[in-house]
Homo-oligomer: A and B are copies of this chain.
């Protein structure tokens, strides 16, 4: 949550002038996203109407060569009425521009707030919106490998090391060393694949009441097992923040909402227990690595890996596999 780059108002006005959106009226750096800088921009168009946008400057963690995939996906999904922001193309038709060596994109502003204590009605709406994205993305022509897949977790957790994981929690190394090979050997190879969001936490969903007004932050989107995206969303939505309490009514509503739009195949449903363990492992891996590798003076406070170790333990408990049975 930070603005990493300072952009003077003169630079900002020049950047906005490259788009056909009117003149710059306001620009506020916003504390959103962990790896890019974002500004909430207001312009006045030639009719005197106020218009709002998010200007994103991609910092070191986003590879510019991935932007055509990410931004093209937003346009593809928006054209199919998915609740995602569209990219504003510049006067030359480009979806992003370069400014002093950094890429930036102007993105539609969407109303809505991110819920922190979701209700079942909200979980149901998010499930339905996720299914809508999966269906709408079926004919998206581009593909992108999942840079945060199994191989990445193995590398990140390997870099943490047995002792490093134990330094986080005495039981963490044992849990990881038991689960990681098991997930690897059980990773399903027979399931439908497609474009997935891969990071659909409540922070990345804008809502007004029970209505999803925006799915945002597609910067982990990639081509992978479709049902894995449900597992990620399940891990992100169906527990309290520290992972100590599973919330069965949210779980039921999320799956019900999803299936109302895109019914699961029997083999997808059967794979959800192992995919859920994989999803928990994915966030455990990045959080453990970040915790051990964030300098003390960093702007971003590392998140607790144990919140996802607890989810992993929950999913791994055989008695809990029944939560995915209907």
Contacts and interface: CB of A to CB of B under 8 A. Distances in A.
Nearest to A207: B9
Given A3-B1, A296-B297, A111 B29 contact: no
Nearest to A38: B28
Q: Among the interface residues A12, A31, A109, which one has the most CB atoms of the partner chain B within 10 A?
A: A31
A42 interface: yes
A208 interface: yes
Given A30-B30, A42-B111, A115-B10, A25 B299 contact: no
Contacts of A116: 8-10
A2 B31 contact: yes
A24 B114 CA distance: 12
A279 interface: no
Interface in A201-246: 206-208
A50 B50 CA distance: 10
4 closest A-B pairs by CB:
A8-B116, A9-B113, A29-B31, A296-B297
26 contacts: A1-B3, A1-B29, A2-B2, A8-B116, A8-B117, A9-B113, A9-B114, A9-B115, A9-B116, A9-B207, A10-B116, A10-B117, A24-B113, A25-B208, A26-B111, A26-B112, A26-B113, A28-B30, A29-B30, A29-B31, A31-B31, A40-B40, A50-B50, A296-B296, A297-B297, A297-B298
